[in-house]
Amino acid sequence: MVAVPLKMKFESYADRGVESAVELINRLSPGWSRGRAWELPRDAVSRRELAQEVESKISQRSVHLRGQAGEELIRLAADLRSIFELMARGRQERAAALVNSLLTRYQAAPQLARHDGEAWHLHFHSQDKEAGRAVARAAVCVIALAVVIGSPGGARLGVCGSSHCDRVFIDTSKNGSRRFCSSACLSRTKVAAFRARRADRTAPVAIPGPASAVTVASGPSGLDRLRRRAGLGSE
């Protein structure tokens, strides 16, 4: 019997590629984050600086982006977000088609590599030898997502289920039950549910008041009128 790992893990290089995709999406795509609007800067300098900061974090070293590299990373983040959203909605065929188109756009191709005394393993690269940093990053992310979507791990690509949050995540839990991008959104959702239940319990109950009195006009009954017509009078 094959042992079930405590946490879902992909191939290590794919792990890094998907984690990079999550970082790009969550930092470089507008929307909502943990209950607050998440907007990108509007001026070109600030946008490039933000993209540079994100790429430096992913690369774990200082990076300087030139030309349109920052805008290319922002565009990449939007495409990667579409893949996560399609997978979260169960639209795997459309997600796969988008991944294939991105693989072509970025000339992405895995290659076997060995370095630093390691065994042969896959590296994800663009075949475009003149590719800049943005294209190289795109190749890594898109190939990694192709590997994941082509495996049972595709169902582990998620979009936060909390209100006013659309940040993405990778579900590495044992049973694939994760629904939120962070513990903060999990807590927000629990608090909101608790407050809703408490409001239901404490809401005043409308108690109907006494029925309105109906005034009946006094007058002769039908029997009295018949007697009068017959000249008998009332008793």
Q: Which residues contact 30 (CB under 8 A, 6 or more apart)?
A: 38, 39, 40
Cβ atoms of 52 and 59 closer than 8 Å? no
- Rounded to two decimals, the pTM is 0.77
What tens-digit pLDDT sequence spans the chain (235 residues)? 333 343 455 556 688 999 999 999 999 999 999 999 999 999 999 999 999 999 999 999 999 999 999 999 999 999 999 999 999 999 999 999 999 999 999 999 888 888 778 788 777 878 876 779 999 999 999 999 999 999 888 889 999 999 999 999 999 888 888 999 999 999 999 998 888 888 777 766 666 666 554 444 555 555 566 566 656 554 4
Q: What is the dihedral of CA 58, 63, 69, 73, to 10 degrees?
A: 10
Helix H or strand E segment including 101? helix 92-105
Quote the CA–CA distance of 112 and 127 in Å, as a whole number: 13
Q: Which domains does the chain carry?
A: 12-157 (1.10.3300.10)
Quote the CA–CA distance of 21 and 78 in Å, as a whole number: 10
Quote the CA–CA distance of 107 and 68 in Å, as a whole number: 19
Quote the CA–CA distance of 31 and 39 in Å, as a whole number: 7
